[in-house]
Amino acid sequence: MNFLSQLALKPRAWQLLAVSALSFELMALYFQYGMGLEPCIMCVYQRTAIWGIFLAGVVGAFTCQWPIMRLIAYGLWGTGAIWGGLIALEHVDMQASTMSFLFSCEFTPNFPSWAPLHQWLPALFEATGDCGDIKWQFLGFTMPQVMVAIFAGYSLALITVVTASLFKNRTI
């Protein structure tokens, strides 16, 4: 328990979080540009959630000694992991529905007007695919199903670290 409670105070742990998220982003870019799998709007939102987790790792790596900055990093991590998981679950439902023709996804992301990521970085955040298409599987699991597992892993890691920190140190 002591080991887990101390993780949030170590820049290396936060760097590992950032590197893992960056690895998933690089894989997404390989799927898009190397394998020709066009991302749909749900994929773009999941990609955005992973960038949030990456940002949490960067913030945590540089500022983990300050409690308020750790809270901000936890917030980014939690927002990315939970929001991304919810989007991935919705995407799984879209693909699994026998009435998938009723589901339609937009082609323009609904980013805030102050941060139109799809205009600033279209190579990363522009949606060109269809949410219902299943063009890739790994061991019988679709991309959104794999993403559910990834976001669940990030959520579980966050819950574990925060819980250990609360019980051991009584501070976040």
Token pair recorded at residue 165: 């920190």
The answer to whether 12 is a known catalytic residue is no
> Contact at 8 Å (CB) between 1 and 167?
yes
Of 12, 64, 105, 170, the active-site residue reads 105
- Long-range contacts, stretch 70-73, CB < 8 angstroms, 24+ apart: 70/8, 70/172, 71/172, 73/14
Of 47, 64, 70, 170, the active-site residue reads 47
Q: How far is CA 169 from the centre of its chain?
A: 28
CA–CA gap between residue 110 and residue 21 (Å, rounded): 22
> Contact at 8 Å (CB) between 94 and 131?
yes
The answer to whether 64 is a known catalytic residue is no
Of 43, 64, 70, 170, the active-site residue reads 43
CA-derived radius of gyration, the chain: 17
End-to-end CA distance of the chain: 14
> Contact at 8 Å (CB) between 45 and 85?
no
Of 40, 64, 70, 170, the active-site residue reads 40
Token pair recorded at residue 57: 């790792």
Task: Catalogue the active-site residues.
Answer: 40, 43, 47, 105, 131
